[in-house]
Amino acid sequence: MILLSPIFLAIAIKSSSPGPIFFQQERVGLQGKVFQMWKFRTMVVNADELQSQLETQNESEDGIMFKLKNDPRIIPIGHFLRKTSLDEFPQLFNVILGDMSLVGPRPLPIRDVEHFDSWHHIRHQVMPGITGLCQISGRSNIGDFNDVARLDLYYIDNCSLNLDLNILVETIRIILFGKGAY
């Protein structure tokens, strides 16, 4: 069943919305290098274009990250994929390619990074991760990017194998209970 799950996801995405199964987006990683991050597609094909029309509804407190709890661009299967974080699995390819690690600050879209204060770029001194301290400390419920950046800086200052293992275990627990994802 586990081996066939990617096929089931592909069928679900294709039947939910026309377009590709995968979504790729330019993200900013280590030392500010831009790379293509992979995900299973959870939104309509032209979601990036539609985002500019939705900017006035951004629920992020400071506007740095774009957050919209009831985002109209999400396809029917997309809610499930996001809630279970299954949309993130293709990022294992980014790990294999050396653009990401399992644990680290989440790589953000160029649009978000363009809104950074200068001290926010410190997070680019380490490899970005599929999960990180922010994801286990509130996930989408953290509204102020300064709080996200402070968690990233704490991770950078205290990085260890033990911390990474704790973050991975807590990530699994959070995914199983679907906390904080939308």
Residue 25, φ and ψ in degrees, nearest 5? -145, 145
The angle, 0 to 180 degrees and rounded to 10, between the axes of the packed helices 5-16 and 76-84 is 140
Span 35-89, pLDDT tens digits: 999 999 999 999 989 998 999 998 888 888 988 889 999 999 999 998 888 899 9
User: Does residue 16 sit within a domain?
Assistant: yes
User: Does residue 134 sit within a domain?
Assistant: yes
Task: Kindly tell me if the per-residue pLDDT of 181 is higher than 90.
Answer: no
d(CA 105, CA 153): 9
155: burial class by Cβ within 10 Å (0-12, 13-18, 19+)?
buried
User: Does residue 154 sit within a domain?
Assistant: yes
* The pLDDT of residue 63: 86
Span 124-161, pLDDT tens digits: 999 999 999 998 987 667 878 999 999 999 999 999 99
From the list 137, 142, 133, 122, the residue with the least C-alpha distance to 163 is: 133
In the chain, the largest separation of any two C-alpha atoms, in whole Å, equals: 47
User: Does residue 182 sit within a domain?
Assistant: no
pTM for this one?
Answer: 0.86
Range of the domain at 10: 5-177
Domain count, the chain: 1
User: Does residue 98 sit within a domain?
Assistant: yes
User: Does residue 69 sit within a domain?
Assistant: yes
d(CA 27, CA 128): 10
Beta bridge partners of 26: 36
Residues making up the chain, counted from first to last: 182
Span 91-131, pLDDT tens digits: 999 999 999 999 999 999 999 999 999 999 999 999 999 99
Q: What sign has the CA pseudo-torsion 11, 47, 30, 145?
A: negative
User: Does residue 59 sit within a domain?
Assistant: yes
Structure tokens at 55: 């900017």
User: Does residue 81 sit within a domain?
Assistant: yes
Give the chain's count of helices (H) and strands (E).
Answer: 8, 5
